[in-house]
Amino acid sequence: MQTVHLSKLVLASLIFSFTSCSESGTKTEAAKETKNQSASGPFEISDKSGKVGIKVTDDKSIFMEDKKIGSLDYKENAILDTAGKVVVRLDKNNLLLDVNNKTLAHVDSAGRISNGSGTDIFWSDKGELMKGAENSGYVIKPADPGLYKFASILVFSAMMFQTPAENIPPAQ
């Protein structure tokens, strides 16, 4: 059994606490809805100290702490495992679905995550991961609204599968 890296655990725990909390937030605190941009460049999600937790490279590979865990398929709005099989995907109605087509959350074109908790998670104009008015301490670089949808898919998936990457169920 491999050791769980602290930053993976912290990222998953923080995201989990944000998505599972049922406190209410207001829609007025939301980031502005952007047009469905199709940015597909590299990006990083780091904590407030600057430590990178998730990185997507130019070739669409996804890394967690320098370990490749899969890749993004921007055209299909999906995360693929290292074998190239779909792990989660966003359908045409912006529903995030697992390999069994079970709905996990709603992720809009601006990256706003709604999972029924009553408080949406979204990216601020500065690229900060927010839960209502609360700043999580995580940031995406570059702060490009066209990347927020894919960053949200990754963040929510990391929370759902509770990292480490070895715990992500195999694609079927």
What's the pTM value of the predicted model, to 2 decimals?
A: 0.72
What confidence score (pLDDT) does residue 162 get? 57
What confidence score (pLDDT) does residue 80 get? 94
Whether 172 is in a domain gets the answer no
What confidence score (pLDDT) does residue 78 get? 94
The number of folded domains in the chain is 1
Q: Which domain holds residue 155?
A: 6-24+35-167
- The residue among 83 and 169 whose pLDDT is bigger is 83
How many Å is the maximal CA-CA distance in the chain? 45
Give the model confidence (pLDDT) of 58-77 as tens digits.
Answer: 999 999 888 999 999 988 99
Whether 14 is in a domain gets the answer yes
Whether 41 is in a domain gets the answer yes
Distance CA 141, CA 145 (A): 10
What confidence score (pLDDT) does residue 19 get? 35
**Run of H or E residues at 89:** strand 86-90
Whether 152 is in a domain gets the answer yes
